[in-house]
Amino acid sequence: MSAKTLYEKIIASHTIRELDNEGHILLYIDRSILNEYTSPQAFSGLRENQRGVRHPENILLNIDHVNPTRPQRDIHMTDDGGQLQVDYFRKNAADFGIELFDVLDQRQGIEHVVAHEQGLVMPGMVIAAGDSHTTTYGAFGALGFGIGTSEIEHLLATQTLVYRTLKTLRVTVTGVLPYACTAKDIILALLEQISASGATGYAIEFDGETIAALSMEGRMTLCNMAVEAGARGAIIAPDEKTFAYIAGKPQMPDGELWQQALNEWQGLRSDPAARFDKTVVIDCRDLEPKVTWGISPDQTGTITDCIPDPEHESDLVKQQSMKKALQYMGLKPGTPLRDIHITHAFIGSCTNGRIEDLRSAAAVIQGRKIARHVRGIIVPGSTQVRLQAEKEGLAEIFIQAGFEWRQSGCSMCLAMNEDVLAPGDRCASGTNRNFPGRQGAGARTHLMSPAMVAAAAIAGHLEDVRILLNSGGQHGSL
Ligand SMILES: CC(C)[C@H](C(=O)O)[C@@H](O)C(=O)O
Ligand code: SF4
């Protein structure tokens, strides 16, 4: 048998049959998590065609995109469109017998935070869902990818998908992560290196000493944002850290079954002789905290940099997109990134709304106040994350510093509820997308790690978190 990559092994174990010679297969899908925003037409399709859901027990419905995150949890949405979507979602859950995590459910949150909290993601699984950041599950050695509405309908009816196999891209990350750098900085560095389309057509496998040293939450941040490079899948081979993290989660097997599963999972790694279609190496030794200055996540710099000058860019296509970005962002070439003033600071999302993210932000914020002109908002990734942060005293640190402390949801990551920026607002954001209008029409987004958002909130402008960590008594590490 020829040597295989982990991706190829997972695909092989889920292939029902090959459909042609061009890489199309019928793929078995273990689980799916659907949200109120991308699933309505799929359910309408089932209803029109009088089809049922093949395996309702393998599907989870979870409200996260349009719900308000005001401190008082309310089951009502703020706009009629959102209310319609949620009402229909609730009806679909009831009519098709699918479990729903509604807004008052203690298990609710952003789907990519909820899934692993509940133990729904296991190494070796294939999870397809109506959301592009389903790649997050790669952190556990599962293949996760986003699908469109008609595919959701197919999946619901058959628990399978017609799938085109991808090429494989190995991203080896080496070096000890420098002080104050996080998984977010690694993924922004990768985007800068390979561009926002550098992984289109590929499934990524991350490996290397830096990945081995990353926490599970850091690995999730990395796999989550791999989709911003175009990857429809980003896997990390499961290791002892993975098994320790998932053990005991509500839906994980235990006892004899857990032992059997562990034995299986040990084999989930690429064979040493496996061939990848492409390899990229990211050397972290000189990494510094990163921020985006443009309207694509690959328009990224180091916080100590200045805005680049498009006139110095020889690639004309790139030059044009830089000009467009600077125009939208209201920025001039040569401006130090640290001189960019912000109006808002947002920490949340499925990229950086987990407990470790909140801890790293709190380490910077503790004992400080956010700048007077900055509105700071923190939206925990899930209700469980919120409760944990409240228990640990993090919420109190944020509130004392002047942040709004919210309920969980996607919120200002994509501004589909009432958390919308106004034209001209500029936000330091721990999220994943910065295209025009993402956080509100005419609003400007700078992506960075949660610790960097915290630093910007305090300083009132984009700031090097290392400066804050080095000054002021009790501070010192993330
Ligand atoms: C709404 C949904 C289609 C979308 C996605 O698929 O990623 C959203 O979650 C996002 O982050 O832009
Ligand atoms: S938090 Fe943002 S990126 Fe994640 S699912 Fe919600 S909208 Fe998409």
Compute the average pLDDT of residues 128-149. 98
pLDDT in tens, 150-197: 999 999 999 999 999 999 999 999 999 999 999 999 999 999 999 999
CA 302, chain centre distance (Å) = 21
Q: How far is CA 89 from CA 36, 79, 96, 140, 150, in A?
A: 6, 15, 10, 28, 17
CA of 221 to the centre of ligand 1 (A): 16
Q: Are 444 and 425 in contact (CB under 8 A)?
A: yes
Q: Whose CA is nearest to atom 2 of ligand 2?
A: 413
Biggest CA pair distance of the chain = 66
pLDDT at 474: 46
Asked whether residue 475 carries a pLDDT value surpassing 50, the answer given is: no
Ligand that lies nearest to the alpha carbon of residue 64, given by its number in the listed order: 2
Compute the average pLDDT of residues 27-54. 97
Residues 293 and 185: their CA atoms lie apart, in Å, by 14
Q: Are 150 and 45 in contact (CB under 8 A)?
A: yes
Residue 223 assigned ligand-binding role? no
Compute the average pLDDT of residues 112-121. 98
Asked whether residue 1 carries a pLDDT value surpassing 90, the answer given is: no
CA of 401 to the centre of ligand 1 (A): 31
Instruction: Give pTM, 2 decimals.
Output: 0.97
Q: Whose CA is nearest to atom 4 of ligand 1?
A: 131
Q: How confident is the model at residue 471 (pLDDT cuts 50, 70, 90)?
A: confident
CA of 463 to the centre of ligand 1 (A): 29
pLDDT at 78: 86
Q: Are strands 290-292 and 300-302 parallel, antiparallel or unpaired?
A: antiparallel
202-207, strands of its sheet edge to edge: 234-235, 202-207, 167-174, 278-283
Q: Which residue has the tokens 């690639």?
A: 315
Q: How confident is the model at residue 73 (pLDDT cuts 50, 70, 90)?
A: confident
Compute the average pLDDT of residues 55-79. 93
For residue 381, give the ligand 2 atom closest to its CA.
Answer: 1
pLDDT at 472: 59
Q: Are 69 and 408 in contact (CB under 8 A)?
A: yes
pLDDT at 189: 98
Q: How far is CA 198 from CA 5, 64, 280, in A?
A: 20, 29, 10
Pocket of ligand 2 (CB under 6 A): 64-65, 110, 112, 131, 133, 349-350, 410, 413-414, 432
Q: Is the ipTM here above 0.85?
A: yes
CA of 221 to the centre of ligand 2 (A): 12
Residue 306 assigned ligand-binding role? no
Q: What is the mean pLDDT of the chain?
A: 96
Question: How many CA atoms lie less than 13 Å away from 161 in the CB half-sphere?
Answer: 26
Q: How confident is the model at residue 14 (pLDDT cuts 50, 70, 90)?
A: very high
The token duo for 130 is 């109506």
Q: Are 372 and 461 in contact (CB under 8 A)?
A: no
pLDDT at 75: 87
Q: Name the residue among 405, 429, 233, 442 with its Cα closest to residue 342.
A: 429
**Please, which residues have CB within 8 angstroms of residue 20's CB and are 6 or more apart in sequence?**
none
**Please, which residues have CB within 8 angstroms of residue 44's CB and are 6 or more apart in sequence?**
none
Write down all domains in the chain, each with its CATH number in brackets: 6-279 (3.30.499.10), 291-472 (3.30.499.10)
pLDDT in tens, 220-270: 999 999 999 999 999 999 999 999 999 999 999 999 999 999 999 999 999
